[in-house]
Amino acid sequence: MGIFSFLAIFIMVRRVQASFKFSPLRAKWMPQFTTVTWMSIGLYVLAQAILKEGIVLILGGGSLLAVILLAEKEPDFNPFNSVIKAHYPLAGVSLLSGIVLIIAHKFYNDYDQFFIYAILAAFVWTLARWATTKKERAELNFVTQQNQMLDKLVADRTAELTKQKDELQQTLDLLQTTQQQLIQSEKLASLGELTAGIAHEIQNPLNFVNNFSEVSMELIDEMEEELAKGDTEEANAIAADIKQNLGKIIHHGKRADAIVKGMLQHSRASSNTKEPTDINKLADEYLRLAYHGLRAKDKTFNAELVTNFGEGLPLINMVPQDIGRVLLNLFNNAFYAVHARQVEAGVEYKPVVTLSTHQKNGSIVISVADNGTGIPGEVKDKVMQPFFTTKPTGEGTGLGLSLSYDIVVKGHNGAIEVQSKEDEGSEFFVTLPII
């Protein structure tokens, strides 16, 4: 009768092994399953060959009990706990039968039928428990399969998302690099537009310097002649004229020097160092530079420049080259708008660009107005967005007003607003806090 305990071990291991068919636990426990299976067969064959029936019953019951206890301690076998525990009766009956057979052989022989029936009943009970849990084990296999499929899907999806993330990161890095290049190109473009205006502006004081220098040289020759004649009075009069000319040369030389310094200041990278600045002087200089820059491209273009500067305005703590870029961009846009309308309207149209400054509520407001083409209402809210432009393809980067917005709002805690009517003109307001 000891075969039933070993047979129960064999069946238990095989059923659990089958239930792990689609589970990753199969690989973990496969060596143990194989070992226990062959040990149960080997022990039974060996015990049956050399041991008495009582010892075989005890060995079988003890082995079954050991397998049950070990299985209960492993969390991996929790789904089979109820079935595994169903083997306790068989293990107990086998142990009891073996002990009684050894120590009370006569009693066992008198009631051997009861012990046999008990062992058979316990064995049938274990088989019945496995049969009743067949559906549960099938469901477990199904759930395990589904989990494996889900794990694979999750792994595949994770790999796909990781790949997409890497691709998006590369695209973002490329876009950021491109954006920096475009911003630098915009700054260089504004510098290029300044060059023509600066050349025109610097030419005037240089002409004065050259002319007054030539006149002064002629006056010196005349003064030497008068001194040779002994006419000191006339010589003194000529010396006064020379002195006056030298004063004009100094004045225009300083003017040329200021223009060159302004060009160098605009061309170098912003140091982000704020300094007190006369906004009227800065705005007036960039207005003329922008105007002459456009005239250098198109000699036929003319516009009326109107300036209304507020008197007694305090100095503003700002980064001059940054605010200069903002003003230059606004002036260029204004001249572009009036020039575009002039091409359409013809000689009857008179382009006008107006620059105004005034103090309001602790801030300085700079207004740049034009009577050009205006901005359509449906796009007016987009003009500050990066890469948005109303100019034809190839004529604008869409970064000018975006950079201006960042400089004024983020860099100087100011504000920039626009009012416009299509075919009537536009007006931009730049508000900079005094403190």
Instruction: Count CA within 13 A, CB hemisphere, residue 198.
Output: 19
Residue with tokens 């007016």: 380
Can you tell me whether residue 295 is helix, strand or coil? Answer: helix
Looking at residue 366, its pLDDT comes to 94
From the centroid of its chain, how far is CA 22? 43
Instruction: Count CA within 13 A, CB hemisphere, residue 1.
Output: 25
Q: Where are the alpha helices (DSSP H) in 74-133?
A: 81-85, 88-103, 105-110, 112-132
Looking at residue 210, its pLDDT comes to 82
In whole angstroms, how large is the CA radius of gyration of the chain?
50
**Residue 313 backbone zone (phi > 0: left; psi -120 to 50: alpha; other: beta):** beta
Q: How far is CA 332 from CA 63, 143, 354, 371, in A?
A: 96, 70, 13, 14
Q: How far is CA 138 from CA 15, 18, 80, in A?
A: 11, 10, 12
**Residue at 65: amino acid letter:** L
Looking at residue 307, its pLDDT comes to 94
Residue with tokens 């300036």: 307
CB atoms within 10 A of CB 330: 31
> Backbone phi, then psi, for 424, in 5-degree steps?
-120, -30
Looking at residue 398, its pLDDT comes to 46
Q: How far is CA 402 from CA 39, 223, 382, 408, in A?
A: 81, 61, 10, 10
Who's near 6: CB < 8 A, 6+ residues apart?
40, 41, 43, 44, 60, 63, 64
Quote the tokens at residue 70.
Answer: 């070990």
| Helix (H) or strand (E) run with residue 186 in it | helix 134-229
Q: Where are the alpha helices (DSSP H) in 230-352?
A: 232-267, 279-297, 320-345
From the centroid of its chain, how far is CA 185? 22
CB atoms within 10 A of CB 408: 21
Pair 105, 98: CB distance under 8 Å: no
Q: Which of 407, 412, 403, 429 is nearest to 274 (CA)?
A: 412
**Overall pTM surpassing 0.75 (yes/no):** no
Who's near 315: CB < 8 A, 6+ residues apart?
276, 277, 278, 279
Instruction: For 272-433, give the CATH class.
Output: alpha beta
Tens-of-pLDDT digits for all 435 residues of the chain?
656 666 666 777 777 767 666 666 666 667 776 777 777 776 666 666 676 776 666 666 667 777 777 777 777 777 666 777 777 777 777 777 767 667 776 776 766 676 666 767 776 777 777 766 665 555 555 556 666 677 778 888 888 888 888 888 888 888 777 766 665 565 555 555 556 556 656 766 777 788 878 888 888 888 888 788 788 888 888 888 888 888 888 887 877 776 666 655 545 545 567 889 999 999 998 888 888 777 777 778 888 999 999 999 999 998 888 888 889 888 988 998 898 888 888 778 899 999 999 999 889 999 999 999 888 766 666 666 655 455 554 454 445 677 888 888 888 899 989 888 888 899 999 999 987
Pair 43, 58: CB distance under 8 Å: no
CB atoms within 10 A of CB 316: 23
Looking at residue 394, its pLDDT comes to 44
From the centroid of its chain, how far is CA 304? 46
**Helices 3-19 and 25-50, axial angle in degrees (round to 10):** 170
Looking at residue 46, its pLDDT comes to 67
Domain boundaries of the chain, sorted by first residue: 3-132, 272-433
Who's near 389: CB < 8 A, 6+ residues apart?
395, 396, 397, 398
Q: Which of 275, 363, 355, 368 is nearest to 313 (CA)?
A: 363
